[in-house]
Structure 1
Amino acid sequence: MKKAFLLVSLLSTFLIGCSSTSPRKNLEQFETHTGGQVMGDATSFYWVTNKLTQPHTSADYVTVGDYGWYQTDYAWSEGVLREFIREGEQRNSSNELVPYRVHVRFNKSGEAVYQQYRIDSKILPIQAKQLENYQKEAKSVLETTMKQNDEGLRLVQGYWDGSSFKTCAGGEFDRIEFNQTLPSFVIDRLASVESYAAFLGSDSLGKMSVEELLMLAEDSHDCVVRPSLLKE
């Protein structure tokens, strides 16, 4: 137990990450927040940029175990989802991972006025129920991220080398506090293997508090960059 406690204490600098806000955009009354969650096999990273109090753009990056992954770039206007592009890989009928891409535009009433679903070089129709699911997922990104922001949490990414945590944003931390119980295999890995890590957390007075560990991977794993699929 003492060993595990000491490790957690050492980790207290381990996890702080990629959450940044452009000073120029701040002057233009834009503000970006980040978040994420784990639900079942799905691990999600979120980004939301608000203009004043309204969503302006948002994005997600989602991995679903062996079933595939996707990233989405969303555009909003007056609280209504107006366009999104999603790219990723999913299993086909032969259980093979194949690329897919979805592009949908909506009018100000939320009705789809343009849609394209391409999977493995084939173009298929999008069912009305699926369009509704896409809209619900987009709203969930906003709601989850802003709720986490209200709780003082953000998405943090970086690399743990056994003694310190270097964030994807260029910071470095030596003091970390975990607010969740970690499985023993995770503690063992952090004690012996250099790793990429992503989590929900917050920092104060030079100490990083980890609320939820989202992802732990080899140190060859790249920092996840916010998807940018829509043209300005």
Structure 2
Amino acid sequence: MAQNDVRYYLNGLRIEFMNKHMRAVATDGHRLALGEIEIISSEGIQEGMGVIVPRKGILELERLITDEEREIRIAFGANHLKIDLGELVITSKLVEGRFPDYQSVIPKEGQHRLVIERERLKLALSRAAILVNEKVRGVRLCFESEGLRVIGHNTEQEEAEDLVEVSYSGESFEVGFNVSYLLDVMNAMEDQEIQLLINDPNSSCLIDSVKNINYRYVIMPMRL
């Protein structure tokens, strides 16, 4: 989620319902996170119905939900959202506005697909992050048949380079990303085997689990 963005509809979490699932989407214009869970039951909720919940309400809810197996009840009003946790009920105002068409930025098919162990990539990114320019935070990912080369450098001509073993058979190319965004994704994911899907150095990159596509992350590239 964005913070204090003039596009106020980005300062919240989009919640929508479809195919007996609840989908949550957040974006700050540079990256996007999407998660889906199955709904136990629903009454009066129309297919495709969606609302935007303010950032403050989502952070408070995240703090209060400590039991992942807890059953919660969600109800919508015209301008409010009510979440029943059993011993506690939370009410939040909804954000007015039209959420961006996030579907258009999620790659449907990637011309280049790379499969990698999440922990290995996380370690390589962490090492590169030590030397990247603090203002830009840019890191280069070089897709090669030998592996994924992770390169970070700064204005002092210092450079860190790691070659991570991957499953990749496409052509070689490189693309730049904000290393902090990539590390946020690595820390949010739990599965070890993940995949990166991208069409070209100028397109967004989709990161998700090889086995579980209920959680997806999209990061826009940057020029370095």
**Normalising by structure 1, what TM-score?**
0.31
TM-score (norm. length: structure 2): 0.31
Could you say which structure has the higher helix fraction? 1
Greater RCO (CA < 8 Å, at least 6 residues apart): 1
Higher strand residue share: 1
